[in-house]
Amino acid sequence: MSIEPINLRDIEDHAANIYEAIVVCSKKGRLINAENKIEYNALLSTIPEAANEDESEELENPAQLKISLEFEKREKPHMQALKEFLEGKIEYKYKEQ
């Protein structure tokens, strides 16, 4: 997986300052990560557990492995959040005092 640099000027065009944009993206990234975790756990709960005679030996469950690999291939939550921010899909506002 290659690393792509992000032009900070693009971020500044969508926010009053760069720090504000970082806070917005980090909160959205955490939200995306929480949603992914809920989805992952829901999918894992549908997989029947294999009966282990010897609990010290861990057997790989192919269905669980398939789900794990699918989630690993997804774009990382912080990159999804940043992309949504740059596309203008995230709306934010300050809390009223």
Q: Is residue 43 part of a domain?
A: yes
Q: Is residue 52 part of a domain?
A: no
Residue range(s) defining the domain that contains residue 12: 8-47+60-86
Average pLDDT of the chain, as a whole number = 87
pTM score > 0.85 for this model? no
**Pair 47, 2: CB distance under 8 Å:** no
Q: Is residue 12 part of a domain?
A: yes
Q: Can you give the pLDDT at residue 57?
A: 57
Please write the tens of the pLDDT for every residue from 45-65.
Answer: 998 776 655 555 566 788 889
CA distance 70 to 66: 6
Q: Can you give the pLDDT at residue 31?
A: 97
Q: Is residue 26 part of a domain?
A: yes
Buried b (16+ CB within 10 A) or exposed e, 55-78: eeeeeeeeeeeebeeeeeeeeebe
Q: Is residue 93 part of a domain?
A: no
The total domain count for the chain is 1
Please write the tens of the pLDDT for every residue from 26-50.
Answer: 999 999 999 999 999 999 999 877 6
Q: Is residue 14 part of a domain?
A: yes
pLDDT band at 93 (very low <50, low <70, confident <90, very high): confident
